[in-house]
Amino acid sequence: MGVRPISQSGDNDMWVEDWALRAACRETAKPDELFVRGAEQNQAKQVCQGCPVRTECLAEALDNQIEWGVWGGMTERERRALVRRHPSASWRKILETARTRAQTASA
């Protein structure tokens, strides 16, 4: 358990199932710092930059329609806009596919 390959190419691309244990915010932020309002959200989003599990975190928030806080580098307003446009989407599947395509294109 933990991670599973998302591509058949044999490279190290993985979807992390236990992503919360690997999140940058786990080490660098207090939980309250990610649940702020207004301009403070931009600072909170900085914690997500370079996070190794940013995609997994974002998929979790989108698929579960989490309404509060910064998740995967997006505010609740930004996430709501995505969900409104695609209310029945599987965000994990969409983000897995996008990651695989981006990595394939850059290889």
Residue 68's domain spans which residues? 11-106
What confidence score (pLDDT) does residue 49 get?
92
Q: Over range 75-83, report the average pLDDT.
A: 94
> Do the domain assignments include residue 31?
yes
Report, as an integer, the average pLDDT of 27-56.
89
pLDDT-based confidence at residue 13 (cuts at 50, 70, 90): low
DSSP assignment, residue 6? -
Average pLDDT estimate for 34-46 = 90
In a domain, 3, yes or no: no
State residue 62's pLDDT score.
95
Rounded Cα distance, 28 and 23, in Å: 9
80 near 65, Cβ under 8 Å? no
**CA distance linking residue 26 with residue 28, whole number of Å:** 6
Binding residues: 25, 48, 51, 57
pLDDT in the model for residue 28: 80
- Whether 2 maps to a domain, the answer reads no
Mean pLDDT of all residues in the chain?
Answer: 84
Cβ atoms within 10 Å of 66's Cβ, excluding its own: 13
Question: Would you say 95 and 59 are in contact if contact means Cβ atoms under 8 Å apart?
Answer: yes
Would you say residue 10 has pLDDT above 70?
A: no
pLDDT tens-digit series, residues 93-106: 999 999 889 888 98
What six digits make up the tokens of 28? 């660098």
Helix (H) or strand (E) holding 80: helix 76-85
Flag whether 1 is in a domain.
no
Binding-site annotation: residue ranges for [4Fe-4S] cluster = 25, 48, 51, 57
In a domain, 4, yes or no: no
pTM of the model: 0.79
